């Protein structure tokens, strides 16, 4: 996680390093639970149910399933409102983030056809937060998350704090509205992996990344409803459902790491003899690494793996964009890193451009609508966006079946 890594770079003392170790351990432990690993004394966690609709790319078709928003209440008027990505044609369902409460139109929320905004009438049961609820006084949190406007710190969500404040919206919209770049299937991008998937042969995937890739702030990672796994497991499950064959996942990701650390992991990456390696860094690099160095490190990882596994294919993930209000991030780096990865694209090396999608999100909505921790992790919706963009590179352009109203 960038906040952790920034402090290490800044030379914080042993107290912070112990906190960092504790958070990394928690991340790994929760990720194992999300994968179904439990101790003998623990009951099995409720299982997240795979849904083709949830894995439909958000930019395709005419329905967005379970988009997350966070309603903000105006301090002066008391009105609460939030916006979705597309102008709404028909509302299908508005639920709490856990998915176990369905709200009623008119009583709990209101909307107008052709608009993106949803408002809450007096007496609504939907959670609405004043702006102050997303702030904390300086130096009162584990990490210093100074807001760019100088008004204290951004609320840090260690697990499900933002999830509890967010609302899930499923709605219809007019087709072909998404203007940002989107991934397209290219048979030359990962030909060997796709051939094995189509041939119903076992496929091995290794994911190497930071805390986003460990699953931090996915509800399954945090042991909360609806128990959705993080994007690596979503990709594995989706490919297995689409191709009806065995997809094995080895997730080597560790919170707080960057492309410099990735260079030390080549031996571990090749051990499972992966067909496909997903390399996902950038959030922690953005604290200080230049785009040329980021590209060089990534290119060296690819070359190091291919020296031992010449047939290995790669998907390089251009990271989500961190909260623009956080002073610690060098926000211009996200686009620079994306462009650096695009320069490495060639047969066998594809790029999953989450950066462009996320940048567009932040033009249409607020960071708090899809954040998991307030600064640099996705929530459930964000993890699905990661998975949808990656999976689109591996599944030919055929939408999963649409759900009937």
CATH number at residue 358: 3.40.50.1110
Range of lowest pLDDT (1-10, 257-266, 315-324, 356-365): 1-10
Dihedral (Cα; 180, 186, 189, 193), 10-degree rounding: 120
Q: Are 213 and 127 in a shared domain?
A: no
| pLDDT above 50 for 8 | no
Instruction: Give the bridge partners for 205, in sequence order.
Output: 249, 276
| pLDDT above 70 for 402 | no
Q: Are 270 and 350 in a shared domain?
A: yes
Q: Are 239 and 323 in a shared domain?
A: yes
Q: Are 341 and 377 in a shared domain?
A: yes
Please report whether residue 380 resides in a domain.
Answer: yes
Range of lowest pLDDT (42-46, 144-148, 157-161): 42-46
Please report whether residue 32 resides in a domain.
Answer: no
Q: What is the mean pLDDT of residues 99-109?
A: 98
Q: What is the mean pLDDT of residues 278-284?
A: 98
Residue ranges making up the domain that contains 287: 191-392
Please report whether residue 334 resides in a domain.
Answer: yes
Share of the chain above pLDDT 70, in %: 87
List pLDDT tens digits, range 43-74.
677 889 999 999 999 999 999 999 999 999 99
- Number of domains making up the chain: 2
Among 139, 172, 205, the domain boundary falls at: 172
Among 172, 204, 231, the domain boundary falls at: 172
Helix axes 332-343, 291-308, angle to 10 degrees: 40
23 band by pLDDT with thresholds 50, 70 and 90? very low
pLDDT the model gives residue 43: 67
Residues near 42 by Cβ (< 8 Å), separated by ≥ 6? none
List pLDDT tens digits, range 170-184.
999 999 999 998 899
Q: Are 345 and 200 in a shared domain?
A: yes
Please report whether residue 9 resides in a domain.
Answer: no
Please report whether residue 35 resides in a domain.
Answer: no
**What's the token pair of residue 327?**
């002073």
**Pairing of the two strands 63-69 and 167-172:** antiparallel
Please report whether residue 357 resides in a domain.
Answer: yes
CA–CA gap between residue 341 and residue 292 (Å, rounded): 10
pLDDT the model gives residue 335: 98
Q: Are 150 and 235 in a shared domain?
A: no
Q: What is the mean pLDDT of residues 194-209?
A: 97
Please report whether residue 18 resides in a domain.
Answer: no
Q: Are 221 and 309 in a shared domain?
A: yes
pLDDT the model gives residue 24: 44
DSSP secondary structure code for residue 341 in this structure: H
Q: Are 75 and 140 in a shared domain?
A: yes
Q: Are 146 and 237 in a shared domain?
A: no
Q: Are 255 and 284 in a shared domain?
A: yes
Residues 130, 172, 376: CA angle, nearest 5 degrees: 45
Q: Are 309 and 379 in a shared domain?
A: yes
List pLDDT tens digits, range 67-99.
999 999 998 899 999 999 999 999 999 999 999
pLDDT the model gives residue 398: 53
Please report whether residue 40 resides in a domain.
Answer: no
Q: Are 246 and 332 in a shared domain?
A: yes
Share of the chain above pLDDT 90, in %: 83
CA–CA gap between residue 404 and residue 340 (Å, rounded): 42
CA-derived radius of gyration, the chain: 21
């Amino acid at each position: 996680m960038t906040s952790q890594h920034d402090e290490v770079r800044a030379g914080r003392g042993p107290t912070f390093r112990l906190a960092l170790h504790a958070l990394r351990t928690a991340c790994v432990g929760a990720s194992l639970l999300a994968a179904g690993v439990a101790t003998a004394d623990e009951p099995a966690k409720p299982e997240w149910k795979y849904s083709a609709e949830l894995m439909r790319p958000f930019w395709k078709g005419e329905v967005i399933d379970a988009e997350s928003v966070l309603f903000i209440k105006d301090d002066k008027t008391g009105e609460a409102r939030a916006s979705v990505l597309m102008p709404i044609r028909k509302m299908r369902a508005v639920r709490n983030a856990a998915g176990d409460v369905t709200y009623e139109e008119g009583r709990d929320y209101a909307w107008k056809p052709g608009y993106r905004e949803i408002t809450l009438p007096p007496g609504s049961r939907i959670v609405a937060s004043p702006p102050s609820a997303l702030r904390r006084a300086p130096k009162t949190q584990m990490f210093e998350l100074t807001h760019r406007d100088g008004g204290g710190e951004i609320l840090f969500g260690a697990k499900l704090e933002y999830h509890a404040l967010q609302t899930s919206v499923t709605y219809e919209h007019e087709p072909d509205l998404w203007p940002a770049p989107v991934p397209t299937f290219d048979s030359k991008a990962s030909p060997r992996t796709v051939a094995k998937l189509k041939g119903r042969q076992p496929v091995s995937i290794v994911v190497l990344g930071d805390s986003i890739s460990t699953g931090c702030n996915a509800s399954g990672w945090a042991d909360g409803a609806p128990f959705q796994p993080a994007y690596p497991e979503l990709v594995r499950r989706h490919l297995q459902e689409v191709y009806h064959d065995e997809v094995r996942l080895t997730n080597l990701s560790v919170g707080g790491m960057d492309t410099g650390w990735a260079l030390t992991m080549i031996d571990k990456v090749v051990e499972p003899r992966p067909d496909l390696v997903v390399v996902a860094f950038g959030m922690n690099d953005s604290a200080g690494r230049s785009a040329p160095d980021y590209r060089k490190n990534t290119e060296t990882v690819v070359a190091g793996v291919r020296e031992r596994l010449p047939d290995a294919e790669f998907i390089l993930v251009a990271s989500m964009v961190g909260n623009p209000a956080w002073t610690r991030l060098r926000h211009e780096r996200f686009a620079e890193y994306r462009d650096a990865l695009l320069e490495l694209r060639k047969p066998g090396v594809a790029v999953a451009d989450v950066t462009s999608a996320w940048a567009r999100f932040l033009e249409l909505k607020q960071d708090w609508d899809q954040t998991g921790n307030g600064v640099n992790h996705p929530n459930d919706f964000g993890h699905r966006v990661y998975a949808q963009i990656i999976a689109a590179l591996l599944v030919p352009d055929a939408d999963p079946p649409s759900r009937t109203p």
